[in-house]
Structure 1
Amino acid sequence: MLNRQTPSAQSWHTRRLRVTGSEEWLGYFNQTKEALAQKPDGIVTVFPQLATTVGLQQRFASQRIPVIAWCFNIGACYPGLKRLLAQTALKDINRFIVHSQRERENLSEWLKLPLSRFEFVPLQRAKITITETEEMNNPFLLAMGSAQRDYATLFKAVEKLGLRTVVIAGNHALAGLTIPDNVEVRSGL
């Protein structure tokens, strides 16, 4: 399973740029090269970058092994050269595990691959023991995430309503926005 970060990789939530830099791509290529050199029976990647580098390296090698692209989620389905590169690199990935049913359809269409190669698996974790009581006297809205969120519209709505709101997102997702007084922002968690 390929899931370790490259030495230069930062958390997606704390980085300044929304895109993967050349140094990071080089790290992913090297990690993929190491994995393929072990002649595995298959590879499970985590996040799109490793799936892309595995796909590209397999295209130029005689070795073809099953690949599952786990947690395959992207911020946008880009047009042009990025789309062509993605279609080429990901053509032979056997299975994509995505975060929603809608992503199955979007990615199948974008990559021009059969819908049957995309599977929705809900993100999950072990049962959490509840140690706190529900906030009944001062309820709030919770919004989380950094990729493709429209926080500007959310902030306008909750400001008008006066609804207490907690946002957990990377600083880049909120850059340039005016945070209303009733919104509490948490990042770097």
Structure 2
Amino acid sequence: MACLLEAPLRISVLSEVTATSRHYVDRLFDPDPQKVLQGVIDMKNAVIGNNKQKANLIVLGAVPRLLYLLGQSSSSPELRTECAVVLGSLAMGTENNIKSLVDCHIIPALLQGLLCPDLIFIEACLRCLRTVFISPVTPVQLLYTDPTVIPHLMSLLSRSQKTQEYITQIFSH
């Protein structure tokens, strides 16, 4: 009898999480840049430690939009940084999350972000790249598709202690 009572509850909770996830994704398309930023920050807070929420956001298409916002020079530095942080959090989920992120071409987008002069944004991109590359499911050769990447990473080593840490962890894997 208990199982019969639990099933509707599980369905209700799942649809609630999915509805909440849909709300986060919808906010990424708001015409007001401040609302988009707040939506990304709220998304970041929602996915921390919540693999179900991470999976829902990936399935609902948040990653392409986050990558788009991350890559837009017209996006504020704070928005671009928050997008990189959310992507990094999504990467800290399951191996399926990593596969989905790689399939969405997260690596080229983050490597492109390393060309930005904003150190905080660079560190966020590197932290996300580190998380992606330490996963056993990430093809390491993706780091070597462009011959300018390794020299650029080497040039970033001296930018901060964090850049040193993230880049050496990327190289060590």
Give the TM-score normalised by the residue count of structure 2.
0.31
**Structure in which a larger fraction of residues adopt strand:** 1
**Structure in which a larger fraction of residues adopt helix:** 2
Q: Which of these two proteins has the greater Rg computed from alpha carbons?
A: 1
Give the TM-score normalised by the residue count of structure 1.
0.29
